[in-house]
Structure 1
Amino acid sequence: MNLYADIRTLVIAELDTLVREGVLPDGLDFGAVAVEPPRDVAHGDMATNAAMVLAKPAGLKPRDIAEALAPKLLADPRIETADIAGPGFLNLRLAASSWAELTRAILEAGLDYGKSDMGSGTKVNIEFVSANPTGPMHVGHARGAVFGDALAGLLDYAGYEVTREYYINDGGAQVDVLARSVYLRYLEAHGQEVAFEEGTYPGDYLVPVGEALRDEVGDAFVGTPEHFWLEKVREFATAAMMERIRSDLASLGVSFDHFFSEKSLYGTGKIETAIDWLSGKGLIYDGVLEPPKGKVPEDWEPREQTLFRSTEHGDDVDRPIRKSDGSWTYFAPDIAYHYDKIERGYDQLVDVLGADHGGYVKRMKAAVSALSEGRVPLDVKLIQLVRLIKDGKDFKMSKRSGTFVGLRDVVEQVGPDVARFVMLTRKNDAPLEFDFDKVMEQSKDNAVFYVQYAHARICSVLRKAEEAGIEGLGDGSLAAADLSVNAHPAEAALAAKLGEWPRIVEIAARTHEPHRIAFYLYDLAGQFHALWNRGNEDHSLRFLQEGDPDTTRAKIALARANAVVIANGLGILGVTPADEMR
């Protein structure tokens, strides 16, 4: 049941009636007609902009359309009032029976309440994390991992066919640096004194890798020239770090459907195939770029390069794909990788990247537009930095020195559920403060606690009802209760919030914004806690009505519907609902 979609269907049907009656002209486009929550809840349960958006194409005043539409809507038993506001907005208040039916529908649907077929099986590839395999996951990676995984869960819930993908950056010079750093740890494991030069990775996390390499090859690499061991150590070190990365991510509850190696693009013809495809479309040429805007670097000189006509697909400038020495730029394998994804049949692509990749967005969108001839959209989501705070002080991290705060460190201190939820309490492109002390507080200011506490309170109510000997507490029995007794405005307000859930799911999925789910759950928990607190003063609002099992079942039905939605929302975010709080 999608109450907002159902009422919008009613509005469209009555607009069609007005067309048939000659009140509205033929040929109107109803696509912009919306049914949404009103800006002020005091105005009603829902509002429609139908009169406003149709006035100009219909050649009528908005208020005239609203006055014709209102009585049509009032004829439906679900609508209690239809009031015209301002120049022509229609504010609707639903009948109490609508909220009872909604509660019943939620209990009957269970895990399926809010699920959508909006995606209709559209194949989406979400690439996220994709960190260089040169060190363990740090807290910055954690935010990208949580965002990507939650987005995948959201789109799956909305009917898309989702692939979670990790792009292993194992084709660049940084992997050679990793190999040299591991080799030093390998020598150290053989009892030698070593010195880490600038540009290597001195972190202690490579100590066990060096020891494992010693156990694997013995002293075969000791005292040998680099060309003898570099490739073998590179492969060994990359595999070891990827194993650790998988383990770190698993501690956060994140796993992937597919790992793609950048190295597989080199020497296999895949880069050449993608570039040749673009060349066949007249999008590759040899030319000289204009000097960069602003202050020109002293070492800049005009030189001919092989360029991609990315400006024909929305970019600001054309982009080099091959250097003057004949080697590929870093952009060339990126083009080939996305060409591979398009060839695998994906209908949509999502790249989740760090905030420092902002300059990458236009060129990659241009490449995907060209490679798919505009058929496959690419959405690039940039993840802003995380500021770690503990005991009122900043936590600092530096991957190269090895003093960073690891993803696993965060999970071990607060748990995966807290870590995941907190990472989604801000939009992805907004900075995030992660205060270890605050995220463990049991207060309204701690969003994850506030939501978990609501679910735990509902579970507590059910346990107390069972202890009191009340029968028929399964969702099926609760759905069959006389729900008309839940007629108080505070109960209607909670039901109205539950009615927003399917709409929120579709909006969040359409915009690729899983933080909307976290925000909604916090608001929903607030509505529930408000009703709970009202029960302290008005005993008729308590969920347990002493000596009245029928009314108790009806009250618990509303609470249980709330728990269903919280559990469904937390499931999208990869967070386990709490049955009790300790």
Structure 2
Amino acid sequence: MVVSALDSAIAADALPEIGEVTPTVERPKIAEHGDYSTSIALALASSMRMAPREIATKIAESVEKSSMVCDVSIAGPGFINFRLDDEWLRSQVNVIREEGVEFAHSDIGAGQKVQVEFVSVNPTGPLHIGHVRGAVIGNGIANILDAAGFDVQREYYVNDAGNQMRIFMESAYVRFMQAAGKDAELGVESYPGEFVVDLGAELYAEFGDSVVEMDKGDAIGVIGKTALDRTLANIHGTLAMMGIEYDEWFSERS
């Protein structure tokens, strides 16, 4: 609507010709100002060499009449405010019900591929509330892009290499040895949480004393993959409960 009105004003010689413009449309901070607002007139003032309010007036006068908008007004130095018509808003209830899950879908991204990588935390324990927040936001962005017609790939980048994984594996080994009744202590850098305590007990129940007798490096080599797999399974489970699925779990080690 804003771009169309700007084009109409330029075509009518009410405003000077300019290049392609992508206006920003936002919700006003003060509800009384309207439902939506754009500052495009302020952005164009320099290139058009006109006062922002004058530009805003020309654009507002060129907005095509429709049942959707009941009022277009100018505020402050040149903000253009739009107020949606109440009757039109009420009519959208039936439109939404008729279109169902396809409501507001478009094809603007047709033929374009995008990758959304989100969460991607180190697989060293369960997800916490901060990770879950990121999962919701990331999946929401992916869903919006999908609804806009993009070919979306959701990726979890598995940080299964590097120093944090070394610390995790050594912590799991210590808990494994403690489960075997051995005198083992966590290092200064470690993962002391209950998850790793339980994981160590599970690893001992599975691998037993044969691994206890191995050198530390060899023992970690045996139990490490299972420790990683079970941690990833825990993360998988949490995300699955949230209805979040990935197309790709990409291992840093690969």
1:128 to 114, 118, 122: 118
Q: CA deviation at 1:221?
A: 1.9
8 A contact 1:178–1:234 mirrored in 2: no
Q: Kindly, what percent of the aligned residue pairs are identical?
A: 36
For residue 124 of structure 1, give the secondary structure of its aligned residue in structure 2: strand
* Residue 194, structure 1, aligned to residue 183, structure 2: yes
For residue 229 of structure 2, give the secondary structure of its aligned residue in structure 1: helix
* Residue 234, structure 1, aligned to residue 224, structure 2: yes
Q: CA deviation at 1:174?
A: 3.9
* Residue 15, structure 1, aligned to residue 4, structure 2: no
8 A contact 2:15–2:58 mirrored in 1: no
Q: CA deviation at 1:72?
A: 4.9
CA–CA distance in 2 between the matches of 1:53 and 1:181? 56
For residue 154 of structure 2, give the secondary structure of its aligned residue in structure 1: strand
In 2 relative to 1, CA 101–15 (structure 1 residues): closer, same or farther, beyond 3 Å?
Answer: farther
Corresponding letter in the other structure for 2:218: F
1:220 to 195, 200, 210: 210
Equivalent residue pairs, number: 252
CA–CA distance in 2 between the matches of 1:17 and 1:8? 14
8 A contact 2:24–2:38 mirrored in 1: yes
In 2 relative to 1, CA 209–57 (structure 1 residues): closer, same or farther, beyond 3 Å?
Answer: closer
In 2 relative to 1, CA 103–237 (structure 1 residues): closer, same or farther, beyond 3 Å?
Answer: closer
CA–CA distance in 1 between the matches of 2:87 and 2:3? 19
Where do residues 140-539 of structure 1 align in structure 2 (5 Å cutoff)? 140-190=130-180, 192-198=181-187, 199-264=189-254
- Cα displacement string for residues 192-227 of structure 1 (whole angstroms, at most 9, x for unaligned residues): 232314244444433443344344434322323234
CA–CA distance in 1 between the matches of 2:52 and 2:171? 71
CA–CA distance in 2 between the matches of 1:211 and 1:13? 69
Gap runs ≥5 in structure 2: none
- Cα displacement string for residues 321-380 of structure 1 (whole angstroms, at most 9, x for unaligned residues): xxxxxxxxxxxxxxxxxxxxxxxxxxxxxxxxxxxxxxxxxxxxxxxxxxxxxxxxxxxx
CA–CA distance in 2 between the matches of 1:68 and 1:178? 64
In 2 relative to 1, CA 201–14 (structure 1 residues): closer, same or farther, beyond 3 Å?
Answer: closer
For residue 220 of structure 1, give the secondary structure of its aligned residue in structure 2: helix
Q: Aligned-pair RMSD on alpha carbons?
A: 3.8
CA–CA distance in 1 between the matches of 2:139 and 2:39? 35
In 2 relative to 1, CA 18–240 (structure 1 residues): closer, same or farther, beyond 3 Å?
Answer: same
For residue 115 of structure 2, give the secondary structure of its aligned residue in structure 1: strand
- Cα displacement string for residues 16-50 of structure 1 (whole angstroms, at most 9, x for unaligned residues): 5413xxx444x333615566555655455555656
Corresponding letter in the other structure for 1:196: E
For residue 148 of structure 1, give the secondary structure of its aligned residue in structure 2: helix
Gap runs ≥5 in structure 1: 1-6, 265-582
CA–CA distance in 2 between the matches of 1:47 and 1:176? 52
For residue 263 of structure 1, give the secondary structure of its aligned residue in structure 2: coil
For residue 137 of structure 2, give the secondary structure of its aligned residue in structure 1: helix
| TM-score normalised by L of structure 1 | 0.36
- Cα displacement string for residues 484-518 of structure 1 (whole angstroms, at most 9, x for unaligned residues): xxxxxxxxxxxxxxxxxxxxxxxxxxxxxxxxxxx
Q: Which residue of 1 aligns with 2:97?
A: 107
8 A contact 1:123–1:160 mirrored in 2: yes
Q: CA deviation at 1:73?
A: 4.1
For residue 126 of structure 1, give the secondary structure of its aligned residue in structure 2: strand
8 A contact 1:166–1:260 mirrored in 2: yes
8 A contact 1:164–1:258 mirrored in 2: yes
8 A contact 1:52–1:88 mirrored in 2: yes
| TM-score normalised by L of structure 2 | 0.73
In 2 relative to 1, CA 38–247 (structure 1 residues): closer, same or farther, beyond 3 Å?
Answer: closer
- Cα displacement string for residues 404-444 of structure 1 (whole angstroms, at most 9, x for unaligned residues): xxxxxxxxxxxxxxxxxxxxxxxxxxxxxxxxxxxxxxxxx
CA–CA distance in 1 between the matches of 2:56 and 2:77? 9
